[in-house]
């Protein structure tokens, strides 16, 4: 990185008030704008639909992780996992498409997709999530 030949306090810089003002403006740290995520009506409607399904999901799971991956599961379900990945891939808006899982099991699902598809935790976009059974590794209490 090249350094400017003009140093602070240099007579060439202080002789011209316009150059002094420009130098002072450039030497200030730039103000960072607060990062805001844009929202769209489509996204808001999707989130509202998920919020409507949450009570039914909680009733089914009773707050416990529905996957219960041995050696991984923490037990407390805190995440709504779509069995069909992504709305753009044909994800359905229904309780049969959702699983209530803990974060550890959710990470494990995506790290091991072959096992997850076999067990029914992930569903191909060409299949109906309501018709694909979910195998339970351990019985949910």
- The DSSP annotation for 51-95 comes to HHHHHHHHHHHTTB-SS--TTT--SB--EEEESB--GGGT--SSG
Question: What pLDDT, on the 0 to 100 scale, is given for residue 51?
Answer: 86
Place of tokens 């808006």: 93
Question: What pLDDT, on the 0 to 100 scale, is given for residue 37?
Answer: 58
Place of tokens 């009506």: 41
Question: What pLDDT, on the 0 to 100 scale, is given for residue 98?
Answer: 87
Question: What pLDDT, on the 0 to 100 scale, is given for residue 43?
Answer: 74
Question: What pLDDT, on the 0 to 100 scale, is given for residue 140?
Answer: 43
Question: What pLDDT, on the 0 to 100 scale, is given for residue 102?
Answer: 92
Helix, strand, coil share of the chain (percent; to 5)? 45, 10, 50
- Radius of gyration, alpha carbons of the chain: 27
Question: What pLDDT, on the 0 to 100 scale, is given for residue 88?
Answer: 57
Phi, psi of 98 (to 5 degrees): -105, 145
Closest alpha carbon to 79 in 91, 70, 88, 66: 66
Copy the structure tokens of residue 113: 């997709």
Question: What pLDDT, on the 0 to 100 scale, is given for residue 141?
Answer: 43
Question: What pLDDT, on the 0 to 100 scale, is given for residue 59?
Answer: 92
Place of tokens 């699983």: 99
Question: What pLDDT, on the 0 to 100 scale, is given for residue 31?
Answer: 55
pLDDT in tens, the chain (141 residues): 556 555 655 555 556 777 777 767 766 655 555 545 556 777 777 788 888 888 998 999 898 999 988 889 998 999 888 888 665 544 566 888 888 999 999 999 999 999 988 888 888 877 877 788 887 655 444
């Amino acid at each position: 990185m090249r350094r400017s030949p003009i140093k602070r306090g240099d007579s060439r810089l202080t002789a011209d008030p316009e150059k002094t003002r420009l130098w002072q403006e450039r030497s200030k740290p730039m103000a960072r704008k607060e990062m805001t995520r844009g929202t769209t009506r489509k996204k808001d409607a999707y989130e509202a639909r998920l919020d409507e399904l949450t009570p039914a999901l909680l009733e089914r799971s009773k707050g416990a992780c529905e996957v219960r991956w041995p050696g991984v599961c923490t037990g407390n379900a805190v995440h709504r996992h779509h069995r069909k990945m992504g709305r753009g891939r044909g994800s359905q808006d229904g309780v049969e498409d959702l699983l209530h899982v803990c974060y550890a099991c959710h990470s494990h699902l995506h790290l091991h997709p072959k096992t997850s598809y076999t067990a029914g935790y992930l569903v191909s976009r060409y299949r109906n999530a309501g018709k694909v059974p979910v195998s339970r590794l351990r019985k949910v209490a």
